Amino acid sequence: MQFEIIDIDKKGRGVSREGISFRFAYPEDIIEGYIISKRNKLGRFEKVIKDSPLRKNAPCKYAGQCGGCPWQQLKYENQLKIKEEKIKGLFGFCEPIIPAPQEFFYRNRMDFAFGPDFSIGLKDDKNKTLDIEKCWLLSEDSNEIVARLREFIKSSDLRSYPEGIMRHVVIREGKNIKNTILSILTSDKGEFPLEELWEELKDVVQGITWSHNLSPADRSYGEIQKSIGQDYLLESLNKIKFKIPVQSFFQTNTKQAERLIQIITEFANLKGDEKVFDLYSGTGSIGLSLAKKAKEIIGIEENEAATKLSLENAELNGMENFSAIAGRVEDVIKSLDLKSDKIILDPPRPGIHKKVLQKIVEAKPKEIVYISCNPNTQREDINLFLEGGYHIKKIQPIDMFPHTPHIENVVLLKHLASM
C-alpha cells in the first residue's frame, strides 16, 4: 500500500494521512508499506516511492534500519526545525535551538546487544540485532574495540542469550580525557572469561566490568560480578573532572554537554551567596559546575554509586561547598527543608514526582532551572509550577542527539513574588 507522510509523531516517526506511524519515514515522503497494528496505528515502511525534499543520503549503511539513528536520512537543518517546532508547540515560544557541534561520532557511550552469529549492535524494528561494523555515533577507536570484542566472543564461542549467556556490552569513552571502559552483561547461566578478555584488550581499554542482567528486559544494567582495572569512566566538562561509575548516567554527548552546562550556568545566574539544591544530581556534573559560583550546593540522587562519586568528584576538583544525599528525592524531602534560593531540576524521562513538585512550590525558591530530555513531561510539570506562582522566563532547546528525535530543553522559571 502507498502512504503519504504528512507529520511526525511523539516518537519521531512519520505519520501518514490515515494516522499510521512509520519509523524511518519523514514528512512529504510517499512510501510503500503496510499496517502492522490498526489498533496501535503502526505500520512498517518498505520503500520510498517519492523522496521528501527533507531527505538526504546518509553515510551509514545501516541508516533506515538501525534504531540508533532513526533520523539519519533527514537533513540536519530539518531535524533542528522539527525539534524547535516541537518546543514551540508545547510552550508557545523558545529561543532558537542550539545545533550540536558534531553531527557524527559524538557519543561517549553506546549500549549494544549481542545477537545470533556473534553479531554486536543495535536492533532493527523487527528486533533483530544488526551486526554493526562501524557505528557513526562512536569514534573510530571505539569501533575498533568493538571489532576486537567480536573476534574474541567468536573465537571463545560465546553465544548470545537465550541460547548462550551474552546479553549486552556498553562501551564508554572519555572524549576530553582519553580512557575507555567496557561493561559486559550476561545471564547467570555461565562464567564469563573476564581475565581472558582483559588480556586481549588491555592495550586499548582501562577497565572491564562483568555484570549479570537477570531481568527479562532488554537493558544493559545488572548486578556487578567482577571488575578488572577501572570500574569508572574519567571525563571532564569545561575543565571540571568527573569519575563516572560504570553503570551510572552521564550526558552522552560530551562536547554539547559543555554547552548545556554553560546555558544552565547562565540561567542560574549565581552571585556567590546562594544556597542551591541540585535535584537528580547524578555524578554532580551540574552541581559541581555551579559550585564555584554559589555558597552551597546540595545534590540529591538515588543511585548510590553516582552519589558516592559525586562527593569524590567534589574532592577531586577542590569544591568544599558541594554535598550530596543518596536517596529518592521524594523520600529524602520528607525530612528535608527545601528552602533555598535556587533549585536545579534534571529528572529522568518520566519527570518529577508530584510530592516533589508540591514541596518545591511550598519552599518557593526564587528561581528554578528545569533541564529535561523529555519536553512532554517537562511541560506537564511546569503547568503545576505555573499554578504554584511561577512564570516562564526563558526556554532554550539544545540538540544533544543528532539523528534522533530526542530533544534536551532548559527552562528558567521565576517566582512571581520575586519579580
Ligand X SMILES: C[S@@+](CC[C@H](N)C(=O)[O-])C[C@H]1O[C@@H](n2cnc3c(N)ncnc32)[C@H](O)[C@@H]1O
CB 83 within 8 Å of CB 229: no
Minimum gap (Å) between residue 285 Cβ and ligand X:
4
Closest CA to 183 of 147, 220, 238: 220
Q: Is 250 in the site for ligand X (CB under 6 A)?
A: yes
Q: How far apart are CA 307 and CA 325, in angstroms?
A: 7
Q: Is 252 in the site for ligand X (CB under 6 A)?
A: no
For 296, the enclosing helix (H) or strand (E) is strand 296-301
Q: By CB under 6 A, which span of 40-48, 72-80, 99-107, 346-354 interacts with ligand X?
A: 346-354
- In what side-by-side order are the strands of the sheet with 322-326? 322-326, 296-301, 275-279, 342-345, 367-372, 408-415, 390-398
Question: Residues 52, 79, 108, 251: which binds ligand X (CB under 6 A)?
Answer: 251
Return the residue nearest ligand X (CB atom).
Answer: 282
98 or 158: CB nearest ligand X: 98
Phi and psi of 341, rounded to 5°? -85, -40
Q: How far apart are CA 364 and CA 343, in angstroms?
A: 10
Q: By CB under 6 A, which span of 27-35, 53-61, 173-181, 248-256 interacts with ligand X?
A: 248-256
CB 64 within 8 Å of CB 46: no
207 or 282: CB nearest ligand X: 282
The catalytic position among 60, 94, 135, 373 is 373
Q: Specify binding-site residues.
A: 251, 280, 301, 346
165 or 305: CB nearest ligand X: 305
> Is 94 tagged catalytic?
no
20 or 170: CB nearest ligand X: 170
Closest CA to 152 of 187, 121, 125, 192: 192
205 or 306: CB nearest ligand X: 306
Question: Residues 348, 355, 416, 418: which binds ligand X (CB under 6 A)?
Answer: 348
Question: Residues 346, 367, 399, 408: which binds ligand X (CB under 6 A)?
Answer: 346
129 or 310: CB nearest ligand X: 310
Minimum gap (Å) between residue 178 Cβ and ligand X:
21
Cell of 141: 577507536
Q: How far is CA 6 from the centre of its chain?
A: 28
The size of the interface with ligand X (CB under 6 A), counted in residues, is 20
Minimum gap (Å) between residue 291 Cβ and ligand X:
14
Binding mask 201-240 for ligand X (x = CB under 6 A): ----------------------------------------
CB 167 within 8 Å of CB 223: no
3-state DSSP: the chain helix, strand, coil percent, rounded to 5?
25, 30, 40
Cell of 220: 544493559
- In what side-by-side order are the strands of the sheet with 166-173? 119-121, 109-115, 166-173, 180-186, 207-212, 223-229
Question: Residues 152, 198, 221, 249: which binds ligand X (CB under 6 A)?
Answer: 249
Q: How far apart are CA 99 and CA 121, in angstroms?
A: 27
Question: Residues 17, 61, 189, 328: which binds ligand X (CB under 6 A)?
Answer: 328
Q: Is 354 in the site for ligand X (CB under 6 A)?
A: no
202 or 328: CB nearest ligand X: 328
Q: How far apart are CA 12 and CA 71, in angstroms?
A: 8
Minimum gap (Å) between residue 251 Cβ and ligand X:
6
Q: Specify binding-site residues for S-adenosyl-L-methionine.
A: 251, 280, 301, 346
Q: How far apart are CA 3 and CA 49, in angstroms?
A: 9
Of residues 266-325, those binding ligand X (CB under 6 A): 280-283, 285-286, 300-303, 306
Distances (CA, A) of 405 to 74, 84, 108: 11, 11, 18
Minimum gap (Å) between residue 371 Cβ and ligand X:
7
Q: Is 408 in the site for ligand X (CB under 6 A)?
A: no
Q: Active-site residue numbers? A: 373
Q: Which residues bind ligand X (CB under 6 A)?
A: 249-251, 280-283, 285-286, 300-303, 306, 328-330, 346-348
